[in-house]
Structure 1
Amino acid sequence: MIKITSSLLALVLAFSVRAASVDSLYPNLTDPSVINHAPYDSLMHGDKYETRKGKSDGSYNYCSMPHPTTSQYKEPEPVANGTVKANLTALLYIQRHQKRTAYNLFPYGENEHYDCSDAEPFLYMGASNSSQPKPLPVYAATYVDRQNPLYATLTNSTCQFPQLTVGGFLDGVQHGKELYELYGEKYHVIPSEPSKETVWLRSSTAPLTQGSAGGVLRGLWPHYNKPLPLHQQIDSIDSHEPSCDYMDTLKSASMSTKSWKKHLKVTESLRKELAHMLFTNNSDWNSDFDHYNDNFQARLCNGYKLPCDQSGSGKCVTNEQARQVFVAGDWEYNYYWVDRENVTEAIQLTSGLYIKDMLKQLQEVESGKSSLKYMHHFMHDGDIGPLAGSLGIRSLRWPGMASNIAIELWKTDKHQTYVRALYSGHTLQSRHGNMDWMPFHKFVHIWSQYVPRDFVAQCAQS
């Protein structure tokens, strides 16, 4: 008989927490009927769609996704067990921005007053020449004029939709602090001060990602006060989200399959209930669950209640209806980027050019052509989804706020380079193989399959 000592019990409990943390990222999302499944339902309990209080336990939390931290981080197994001697030499880190207000407001306005009066989004440009005058720091102070005849169709608010909230900014600062504790103080791939030789930062052209970068970078370097370049590509040809007409054809094909039709049938009554209550009986709100997810998630993440019927009936969206909306949204994300038949081409035309950019950066670092050690990209859920799919993620829930992919380069004492890929702080469970310890050349081969052969020609297909 095994004697359960206090230390053994603590070990068992710790293992259970870690297993539960990982499991929450990888539920079975193959069958659209998952919204009625009890095992998945158990993952939706607790505060997973409300602002996280305290340290993350590593579980899925839409409002503040887990990320690598000193308390949760485990080295690659061959390094941890002493089979291989290796050092972490470089990090490519891609993350979604922190929490924000909603993109999608109800057609006849919102019953909540969104308050962003505590946020000061700064908007100004500077001149690189030190002899030029410096700009006066100005920030956007949003207000609503009740005399505006369009007022009734929006909401009484001091927010832009969307915009990073103060809570999102502060989450970003904490995110940066925890990244530095791990990758700076422990592994020394994030320097104590940024330099163009070792650090490269990129974002989309959206204020959301730029604002999020401001928070995370302040957390990384709390005492650094010089300006930093945050690289962006020209919006019209940005490789992270290129324009491609053929994507509409691929999406239409994916929404005509038996799986998608079953999804619509399973969720039909839910969509009718919500449309009747929220006056959202139009195609933008009912073709999929994107708008409902966005609106409900933004409310809960920022401390607001679920919406109510604005006709005065007193009916409000219930917790169970919200849960079903979130599960349906998870199923759709998994379907788009993991399960649909044309997923490889869809990823190629959505994120393939972006993957090509990152592969080049990694290859130059690995070969010694580049001295970069730390590359950090601030992007969107629409980037994290296809990137996770390209890495072969086994199951994909909606990538929550600040969800992240970390690609680590490890160099052995025999000068061999290995890749370790993490998703939201945990080794990515991949259909492509062992992402805990993969030879660099094999990783490059796998990821290269998602680079389009001829992007222009593929997008010109009719």
Structure 2
Amino acid sequence: MVECAEAFVKILDRHVLKDDLFRMEEETTKISIDVIGRVVCDHDFKTLTTDNEFMRTMRNTLAWMPDVQSINPWHRNHPLRPIMWKYYKRKMDKYIGRVLDERFTVRNAEARKTKVKAGIDLALEEYVKESGQNVDSQNIQMDAEFRRFAIDNLLILLFAGHDTTASTICYCYHLLYKHPEALAKVRRELDEVFGAGTSATQQLKDNPYLVNKLEYTLAVIKEVLRLWPPASGVRQGKKGYFVKDPVSGEMLPTEGMNVWTTSMCLGRSAKLWGPDVDEFKPERFLAENADSVPPNAWRPFEKGPRNCIGQELSLIEMKVVLALTLREFDIRVAFDELDALSNDGTLWAKDASFKKGPQKVFGEEMYQILLAAAKPREGMPARIARRKMHNVSNVDLGWYAPKNSWINDLGRVVNGTGTNGFQFNGSQLPDRVEYGVYNWCNMPHVRKEEYVKVSQEFELVYLEPLNPSGNVSAPTYWSVYTNPTNPFVQSGFNGSCQFPQITREGLGDSWQHGKDLYGVYHDLLNFLPSNMSEKVSYRVTNNVITSQVAGILIDGMYTPSTSVPLRIQPTNVDSLEPQYPCPKSTSMYSSYGIGSSAPEWTAHLTAAKPLFNSLDAVSGIASDSTDWHKSFDHYYDNLSARQCHAKPLPCSINDTSNCVSQEMADTVYRLGQYEYSFIYRDSPQSLQAAVGSYGVFLAELADNIRAAVSSQSPVLYRHNIAHDGSVSRLLSILQIEQMVWVGMGSEVVFEIYRKRGYGGKNFIRILWGGQVLRSSNPSLGTVNGKVDLLDVDIFLAYIDGLVGFRAGKVVDFCKS
């Protein structure tokens, strides 16, 4: 069955290469016949690979079926029809007779005991037993009556089986195209079962039972069969059996009549299925909703002892076909181009009456035509495009070093001067300094003045920013004072080491940040809604400062008049801060970074020993204080916070002439940049450590993106407010080309775009500091190092490859 599906994929690929218009039902018929031939007859009809005699004969037989739509008696009672039917029936009998005779002739008792048996072999064995012959004998005879009976039944299986399955596959493609959210769910399920970007072909060959895991795919097939069943059941009436008229209650006799159970009517009965009966909702058939399916209402294969014996074969075949094609192709109907197929030589082109009459049923152009079984109108004229599958194994998951600069050059850091253009002196940049340079006090973010719009052929569909909290609060702030009555007041700046430090300046920065975001994504791009709604969501961590930042940022964006919910995860599992347990990641950071004795780390601490001595002399910190000397984190925070708020650099309380000089502060800032770059980018271990400690957030981000592009979620904007350590780990995983110490108000924005028009490919652009982020990883930085309109499938494959489905690889790593 998988081999047949592979051949079917090659046929579709040929249509892709030719970029032609074709009738999908013609192609799905081929795979249905070949699958039935393999399973039932152990015979390859080769309809997928050759111009097969049997296929031609069968389609010609169908072409002579009466057009039951037409009121023209000539169509319904064509005088040549019985003759042609008899002619083609004789040809099919002859072909199937040869297949049957071959199977009977080549029987080998020993081989039959070990080989998986086809349907025809099982039938032959039963015949031999019932005729009293020895099953193992090589001289078994087949009488004419059994041969006639076997040929007729094989033809019934081929006709009934291929027709219904081929039609249903067409409607699966069509309804999934019309409902992209359901298509995305099927593709997601295929990713979960077979792996993102990994073909299902070999896996199904190695483990056929994987097809049983396709629960949502099966639900789609069942919902398609509910709405567009290809056949119904007919029962012969009998004396003593009655049908009750649902209106009058009258008992109607069935003797001498045929009772037709119309699957279409059952499947579209609002009385049975409810007010949403005409809506395409595969979820009806998921296991958790089994109790809501009306008893005996779904019966496309009919019910009871005379139900379709090929039911399981048909369902498995359809699951296999969808598994091998839905992630590879985008398929749509093309009734607007139907005239181009008027002379294509198919049975549909031979009878122009198909083009007459109603052109929509249930509001659907691709309604059903009764031609033996119910078939999609005009054979489903279709266009097809190949989707670009990105195998995780083809996406580079390796660590790549950042570019060389003064930041990761220890000699230039220790012996250099100044801050190489980096700013530490306030939220506002000095005159003649362009916006976009590194400003620790107020990092650059997206603004209308600098924002670069993408081409008009792309439309923005989803947005997810992440930024650290900074030093801001809600619409109130602390005004620190002292009272001379308090005997414990210390001299110097009225502050403390309490976290967080709330300042009015930071408050204004955060409000402006929100205003700038709204200015770009609402005013400039018309993407954000004008008012707060379910389309906009904000998430914070368990640290109170993130909630305070969210309050003022939201005020800058929307000035809401009512309370705004802030999404938050429980303390011990929060992925945004992060707080979920991952001791392996913690120990990995400690093995090469802060607190470690690794020479790559201690080299800069040793080189900066004189600086430590000078700083300690001013601060009064003990020279053996491990906490203050295992990195420059504390001195960096202390000095930069003062300068950001225009406070003087500190002096010793014992000797006010002994102060931290600007040169000393600049060296601390350079060393801080060096430390962040080493911890989060320069060390080859940094990628794995970041994946372990922040991979869960990335898995959630990937889920959010998938939900957005598949229209599963109404949310189009998710804003995350976290911490500098959160952003640093994120930049580490993205393998930013140049790592810096993440300053106040830093911002990473994930923009998801869809290309307009047919195909609907999705792309991602990542912004850092208002500019397109540059990545050292070649799979991400595909545009001169920029992550600029990267195929979103590549990005998701990168994330999946690192963190695994639902962060499974993160769990394994953290527990290792």
Q: Tell me whether the two structures share a fold, i.e. TM-score over 0.5.
A: yes
Deviation at 1:49, TM superposition (A): 3.3
1:158-169 mapped onto 2 (5 Å cutoff) = 160-169=498-507
**Structure 1 pair 320–157 and aligned structure 2 pair: CA distance change class (3 A):** closer
**Which of the residues 596, 606, 621 maps onto 1:265?**
606
| Matched-pair contact (CA < 8 Å) for 2:424–2:643 | no
| Matched-pair contact (CA < 8 Å) for 2:468–2:744 | yes
Indicate the residue corresponding to 2:435 in structure 1. 57
Matched, 1:297 2:640: yes
Task: Summarize deviations over 1:226-247 as a string: whole Å, max 9, x none.
Answer: 1111111112221121233333
1:239-250 mapped onto 2 (5 Å cutoff) = 239-240=575-576, 241-242=578-579, 243-250=581-588
Task: Summarize deviations over 1:133-192 as a string: whole Å, max 9, x none.
Answer: xxxxxxx88776888887659974489532331111111111111111111112122211
Indicate the residue corresponding to 1:364 in structure 2. 707
**Which of the residues 686, 693, 696 maps onto 1:343?**
686
Deviation at 1:37, TM superposition (A): 5.9
**Which of the residues 602, 608, 617 maps onto 1:276?**
617
Instruction: Measure, in 2, the Cα distance between the counterparts of 1:357 and 1:260.
Output: 32
* 2:532 partner letter: P
Deviation at 1:88, TM superposition (A): 1.5
1:319-398 mapped onto 2 (5 Å cutoff) = 319-398=662-741
Deviation at 1:412, TM superposition (A): 0.5
- Deviation larger for 307-316 or 387-396: 307-316
1:4-23 mapped onto 2 (5 Å cutoff) = none
Instruction: Measure, in 2, the Cα distance between the counterparts of 1:150 and 1:245.
Output: 41
Instruction: Measure, in 2, the Cα distance between the counterparts of 1:202 and 1:283.
Output: 35
Deviation at 1:31, TM superposition (A): 2.3
Matched, 1:92 2:92: no
Where structure 2 has 5 or more consecutive residues not aligned to the other structure, the ranges are 1-402
Structure holding more helix per residue: 2
* 1:312 partner letter: D
**Structure 1 pair 458–143 and aligned structure 2 pair: CA distance change class (3 A):** farther
Where structure 1 has 5 or more consecutive residues not aligned to the other structure, the ranges are 1-24, 102-117, 122-139
* 1:459 partner letter: C
- Deviation larger for 208-217 or 320-329: 208-217
Indicate the residue corresponding to 2:653 in structure 1. 310
Instruction: Measure, in 2, the Cα distance between the counterparts of 1:304 and 1:42.
Output: 22
**Structure 1 pair 210–261 and aligned structure 2 pair: CA distance change class (3 A):** same
**Which of the residues 110, 116, 120 maps onto 2:476?**
120
**Structure 1 pair 274–100 and aligned structure 2 pair: CA distance change class (3 A):** farther
**Which of the residues 561, 569, 578 maps onto 1:233?**
569
Indicate the residue corresponding to 1:459 in structure 2. 814
| Matched-pair contact (CA < 8 Å) for 1:63–1:99 | no
Instruction: Measure, in 2, the Cα distance between the counterparts of 1:58 and 1:171.
Output: 15
| Matched-pair contact (CA < 8 Å) for 1:142–1:160 | no
Instruction: Measure, in 1, the Cα distance between the counterparts of 2:602 and 2:429.
Output: 39
**Structure 1 pair 262–396 and aligned structure 2 pair: CA distance change class (3 A):** same
Instruction: Measure, in 1, the Cα distance between the counterparts of 2:729 and 2:736.
Output: 10
**Structure 1 pair 35–304 and aligned structure 2 pair: CA distance change class (3 A):** same
1:38-117 mapped onto 2 (5 Å cutoff) = 41-44=419-422, 47-52=423-428, 57-76=435-454, 79=455, 85-99=457-471
Instruction: Measure, in 2, the Cα distance between the counterparts of 1:146 and 1:199.
Output: 49
**Which of the residues 217, 221, 226 maps onto 2:558?**
221
Instruction: Measure, in 2, the Cα distance between the counterparts of 1:443 and 1:457.
Output: 22
Over the aligned positions, Cα root-mean-square deviation in angstroms equals 2.9
**Structure 1 pair 37–428 and aligned structure 2 pair: CA distance change class (3 A):** farther
| Matched-pair contact (CA < 8 Å) for 1:33–1:266 | no
Indicate the residue corresponding to 1:33 in structure 2. 411
Indicate the residue corresponding to 1:437 in structure 2. 789
* 1:440 partner letter: V
Matched, 1:403 2:741: no
- Deviation larger for 252-261 or 151-160: 151-160
| Matched-pair contact (CA < 8 Å) for 1:143–1:159 | no
Deviation at 1:388, TM superposition (A): 0.9
Instruction: Measure, in 2, the Cα distance between the counterparts of 1:401 and 1:40.
Output: 20
Instruction: Measure, in 2, the Cα distance between the counterparts of 1:367 and 1:73.
Output: 27
| Matched-pair contact (CA < 8 Å) for 1:239–1:353 | yes
| Matched-pair contact (CA < 8 Å) for 1:64–1:171 | yes
Indicate the residue corresponding to 1:135 in structure 2. none
Instruction: Measure, in 1, the Cα distance between the counterparts of 2:498 and 2:627.
Output: 21
Task: Summarize deviations over 1:116-143 as a string: whole Å, max 9, x none.
Answer: xx9835xxxxxxxxxxxxxxxxxx8877
Which protein has greater RCO, CA pairs closer than 8 Å, 6+ apart? 1
| Matched-pair contact (CA < 8 Å) for 2:510–2:553 | yes
Indicate the residue corresponding to 1:421 in structure 2. 766
Deviation at 1:40, TM superposition (A): 7.4
| Matched-pair contact (CA < 8 Å) for 1:163–1:207 | no
Indicate the residue corresponding to 2:22 in structure 1. none
**Structure 1 pair 293–41 and aligned structure 2 pair: CA distance change class (3 A):** closer
| Matched-pair contact (CA < 8 Å) for 2:537–2:715 | yes
Which consecutive segments of 4 or more residues in structure 1 shift more than 6 A? 140-150
Indicate the residue corresponding to 1:170 in structure 2. 508
SS of 2:636 mapped into structure 1: helix
Deviation at 1:385, TM superposition (A): 0.5
| Matched-pair contact (CA < 8 Å) for 2:676–2:741 | yes
* 1:52 partner letter: Q
**Which of the residues 543, 563, 572 maps onto 1:206?**
543
Q: Rg larger in 1 or in 2? A: 2
Instruction: Measure, in 1, the Cα distance between the counterparts of 2:794 and 2:561.
Output: 41
Instruction: Measure, in 1, the Cα distance between the counterparts of 2:518 and 2:434.
Output: 16
| Matched-pair contact (CA < 8 Å) for 1:26–1:397 | no
Deviation at 1:41, TM superposition (A): 3.9
Deviation at 1:275, TM superposition (A): 1.5
* 1:441 partner letter: D
* 2:556 partner letter: G
Instruction: Measure, in 2, the Cα distance between the counterparts of 1:360 and 1:350.
Output: 18
**Structure 1 pair 141–304 and aligned structure 2 pair: CA distance change class (3 A):** closer
1:179-190 mapped onto 2 (5 Å cutoff) = 179-190=517-528
Task: Summarize deviations over 1:344-367 as a string: whole Å, max 9, x none.
Answer: 221022211111121111111111
Instruction: Measure, in 2, the Cα distance between the counterparts of 1:431 and 1:157.
Output: 41
| Matched-pair contact (CA < 8 Å) for 1:406–1:422 | yes
- Deviation larger for 145-154 or 390-399: 145-154
* 1:96 partner letter: P
* 1:446 partner letter: Y
* 1:94 partner letter: L
Instruction: Measure, in 2, the Cα distance between the counterparts of 1:154 and 1:238.
Output: 38
Instruction: Measure, in 1, the Cα distance between the counterparts of 2:482 and 2:585.
Output: 37
Matched, 1:256 2:597: yes
Q: How many residue pairs get matched?
A: 393
SS of 1:429 mapped into structure 2: coil
* 1:207 partner letter: V
* 1:360 partner letter: D
Instruction: Measure, in 1, the Cα distance between the counterparts of 2:617 and 2:727.
Output: 33
